[in-house]
Amino acid sequence: MNTVSGLKATGYNFAYLDEQTKRMIRRAILKAIAIPGYQVPFASREMPMPYGWGTGGVQVTASILGKADVLKVIDQGSDDTTNAVSIRKFFEKTAGVRTTTHTGEATIVQTRHRIPERPLRADQILVYQVPIPEPLRYLEPRETETRKMHGLRDYGLMHVKLYEDIARHGHIATTYAYPVEVAGRYVMDPSPIPKFDNPKMDMSPALQLFGAGREKRIYAVPPYTHVRSLDFEDHPFEVQRFSRPCALCGAEDAYLDEILLDDRGQRMFACSDTDYCEERRASGHTGLQGDAA
Amino acid sequence: MYVAVKGGERAIANAHELLAHQRRGDASVPEIAPEQIEGQLQRSVDRVMTEGSLYDPALAALAIKQAQGDLIEAIFLIRAFRTTVERFGYAVPTETVAMTIVRRVSATFKDLPGGQILGPTFDYTHRLIDFMLAAGVEPAPPAEGQPVADERVVPLTELLDQDGLIEAVPSADTDDEVGDLTRDPLDFPAARDLRLQALARGDEGFLLGLAYSTQRGYGRTHPFVGEIRIGEIDVAFEAEEVGFAVPLGRVMLTECQMINQFAGSATQPPQFTRGYGLVFGQSERKAMSMALIDRALRADELGEERQAPAQDEEFVLAHCDNVQATGFVEHLKLPHYVDFQAELDLVRRMRQEHTVGSSEEAAE
């Protein structure tokens, strides 16, 4: 079959998607920016990577990527996790854009499960990969119902869930994908970032775009938009605190990964944002096991 | 130490090389050619074309080879290829009445105009492993009969329709644009055209299980196989430049017309209703499952109470796509260190509170 020859990477448009598809996605993005936190349905395409592995984020990135852009891709805060490597290579191959691991150098950062520690600037865009865009999904499985609830701003179910957490555990037992309210209107799923990262979304100078490929939804938080993590007056929102600094760079303000060192319970805590950690070490900061790197 | 958590580009490249090596298998055994897959594993090719939504046997065969026979992986390859193929228009709707039939059976009448044609089927074979096949014995030439081609074989449902015993074919407004699941996001409630599209590309196993559940009381539809027909049909394209329909080629299809009981309602007298299944190639299992679920999903339209999973449009359509399903299930393999860390922290805290709580209780 001679169609097979069309499969060569060179036979594809810049950044894989055809221009019509990009236009369709850009329209969805513009609508999403116009209605902060609202989930815009879009005609998600099949991508050459599996659903659930970042197809939404990849489509958003492909649609906004220009030749002059510098792309950074992270997964769990790291540039070197397998899926981040795979997505970065995909854009190197199909778009030929410059890539970087430095948050400060990137114009577009595609992420899974983290927001970089270094504050983002107004000339940067953060693209989130989203598995389940609907914050109410685990409370109400039906799309027809949840869309109605958003339309009526009927978020009682969510507040009841958070209240029940407090009644049962004494605190809200949601540690990641912690729901937020955007611009005082829509309740939004921030994607499964740890709630540690939630405050970074609030009034961020950078545009934040969210792509859910399998669920066919795009939503956005425009720059300088209020993003409030849901809470109660007597149970204000709190982020996790780590009892020790990063073992490599000594950072006390960063989200840490726990790394098992041996089978006798030895463990180490180190920055999940590898670029942040490396930059700190390069500028002379060190932790207790800093030389182990 | 810290290097241990890094994936590494080299590791990925090595893993893919190893996969290619494993795919080739024992080098002393001749390599399988896509033509062999296309010609001798037709049912696999049919499934990949149906669920991949692309009629291209050669490409499907190559995808099966590349996927080492993993059909869902092959379907995925086809889908990712299909999505990049330019779309220049819609074919002229095919009329299955004009099919060159290789098999046609009805379970509702002993004989009917056009006859029962068994054709190639696993039915009535004894499922005994044929050890002669391993030795590569040439099969006897098949018996030949009168060709049924070019003779319009009237579908059974059309015959019943004459007496008003069965609901009329829901007439589509020809000016209505046909929905396209791959170009517009699915919205609920979905129209029947989109529903049928989703079912046609839905996972055979998932649909089979759901169809089976309707037979076991979870949304009973009292079905009969009105007719199953398998055969080839011409596909044509109305080219504006030339002003007539240009034949594009022939496709093999399996169609199932399921007939279901319907008690009637305040506005309608009792009559039989329809469930419809249509797939590429030869797959009665898939076409029948599709027809059963199509009918079950018409519960709302026919004023039936929705109680079972197979009657629940959102449940069925949102979960029947195996490329979506396998992606999301298998994404659990991706690192989740960050979220797990957050949960670890929470569980530790709750355990601590639990210990403090129970020791306080003991003290009381």
ipTM of the complex: 0.75
Q: Is A236 domain-assigned? A: no
Q: Is A162 domain-assigned? A: yes
Whether B62 sits inside 8 A of A4 (CB atoms) is yes
Q: Is there a single domain that holds both residue A150 and residue A268?
A: no
Q: Is pLDDT of B2 > 70? A: no
The mean pLDDT of B58-82, rounded to a whole number, is 97
Q: Is there a single domain that holds both residue A248 and residue A217?
A: no
Q: Is there a single domain that holds both residue A124 and residue A246?
A: no
Give me the pLDDT at residue B164, please. 81
Structural contact between residues A112 and A75, judged by C-beta atoms closer than 8 angstroms: yes
Structural contact between residues B229 and B95, judged by C-beta atoms closer than 8 angstroms: no
Q: Is A284 a catalytic residue?
A: no
> Facing residues of A72 across strands?
A109
Q: What is the spatial distance between Cα A158 and Cα A166, in angstroms, rounded to a whole number?
A: 13
Confirm or reject contact between A93 and chain B (CB < 8 A): no
> Facing residues of A125 across strands?
A108, A207
Classify burial at A8, counting beta carbons within 10 Å of its beta carbon; exposed 0-12, middle 13-18, buried 19 or more: exposed
What six digits make up the tokens of A179? Answer: 């729901």
Q: Is there a single domain that holds both residue A21 and residue A91?
A: yes
Classify burial at B129, counting beta carbons within 10 Å of its beta carbon; exposed 0-12, middle 13-18, buried 19 or more: exposed
Q: Is A77 domain-assigned? A: yes
Q: How confident is the model at residue B176 (pLDDT cuts 50, 70, 90)?
A: confident
Q: Is there a single domain that holds both residue A162 and residue A277?
A: no
Q: Is there a single domain that holds both residue A118 and residue A149?
A: yes
Least confident of A60-69, A237-246, A284-293, B143-152: B143-152
Q: Are strands A227-229 and A186-188 parallel, antiparallel or unpaired?
A: unpaired
| More confidently predicted of B305 and A41 | A41
Q: What is the spatial distance between Cα A241 and Cα A247, in angstroms, rounded to a whole number?
A: 15
The mean pLDDT of B144-151, rounded to a whole number, is 66
Q: Is A77 a catalytic residue?
A: no
Give me the pLDDT at residue B172, please. 64
What is the distance in angstroms between the Cα of B150 and the nearest Cα belonging to chain A? Answer: 30
Q: What are the tens digits of pLDDT across the range A75-122?
A: 999 998 888 999 999 999 999 999 999 999 999 999 999 999 999 999
Whether B344 sits inside 8 A of A258 (CB atoms) is yes
Q: How many domains does chain A have?
A: 2
Q: What are the tens digits of pLDDT across the range B254-309?
A: 999 999 987 777 777 788 899 999 999 999 999 999 999 999 999 988 888 899 99
Whether A193 sits inside 8 A of B338 (CB atoms) is yes
Contacts of A18 in chain B (CB under 8 A): 84, 86
Confirm or reject contact between A5 and chain B (CB < 8 A): no
Q: Is there a single domain that holds both residue A103 and residue A181?
A: yes
Q: Is A235 domain-assigned? A: no
- A176, A205, A229: which is the final residue of a domain? A229
Q: Is A262 domain-assigned? A: yes
Concatenating the DSSP letter of every residue in B117-174 gives: B--S-STT------HHHHHTPPPPPPP-----TTS----HHHHHHTTT-BPPPPPPPT
- CATH classification at residue A215: 3.40.50.11310
Q: Is there a single domain that holds both residue A133 and residue A266?
A: no
Q: How confident is the model at residue B178 (pLDDT cuts 50, 70, 90)?
A: confident
Q: Is A234 domain-assigned? A: no
> Facing residues of B237 across strands?
B91, B246
Concatenating the DSSP letter of every residue in B212-240 gives: HHHHTTSS---EEEEEEEEEEEEEEEEET
Give me the pLDDT at residue A68, please. 96
- A229, A262, A285: which is the final residue of a domain? A229
The length of chain B, given as a count of residues: 364
Q: Which of B79, B81, B350 sits opposite A7 (nearest CB)?
A: B81
- Among residues A54, A211, A213, A271, the one annotated as catalytic is A271
Give me the pLDDT at residue A8, please. 38
Q: Is there a single domain that holds both residue A35 and residue A97?
A: yes
Give the type of residue at A47.
M
Q: Is pLDDT of A30 > 70? A: yes
**A55-64 and A19-34 helices, crossing angle to 10°:** 100
Q: Which of B59, B184, B329 sits opposite A3 (nearest CB)?
A: B59
Contacts of B352 in chain A (CB under 8 A): none
Q: Is there a single domain that holds both residue A116 and residue A222?
A: yes
The mean pLDDT of A8-15, rounded to a whole number, is 72
Q: What is the spatial distance between Cα B268 and Cα A15, in angstroms, rounded to a whole number?
A: 55
What six digits make up the tokens of B18? Answer: 């190893």
Q: What is the spatial distance between Cα A205 and Cα A224, in angstroms, rounded to a whole number?
A: 5
Give me the pLDDT at residue B149, please. 54
Least confident of A184-193, A237-246, B263-272: B263-272
Contacts of A258 in chain B (CB under 8 A): 341, 344
Contacts of A3 in chain B (CB under 8 A): 56, 59, 81, 85
Q: Is A101 domain-assigned? A: yes
Roughly how many angstroms between the first and final C-alpha of chain A, as a whole number?
A: 51
Q: What are the tens digits of pLDDT across the range B102-135?
A: 999 998 888 888 888 889 999 888 888 888 888 8
Q: What are the tens digits of pLDDT across the range A161-173?
A: 999 989 988 888 8
In eight-state DSSP terms, residue A218 is E
Q: Is there a single domain that holds both residue A264 and residue A225?
A: no
Structural domain containing residue A265: 241-293
On whether the pTM is more than 0.90, the answer is no
Q: Is A128 domain-assigned? A: yes
- A229, A264, A282: which is the final residue of a domain? A229
Q: Is A271 a catalytic residue?
A: yes
Q: Which residues of A152-187 are buried (b: 16+ CB within 10 A; e: fewer)?
A: eeebeebeebbeeeeeeeeebbbbbbbbbbbbeebb
Whether B343 sits inside 8 A of A114 (CB atoms) is no
Query: What is the C-alpha R_g of chain A?
Result: 20
Confirm or reject contact between B319 and chain A (CB < 8 A): no
Q: Is there a single domain that holds both residue A220 and residue A251?
A: no
For residue A33, give Cα distances in angstroms to A120, A123, A147, A227: 18, 16, 18, 14
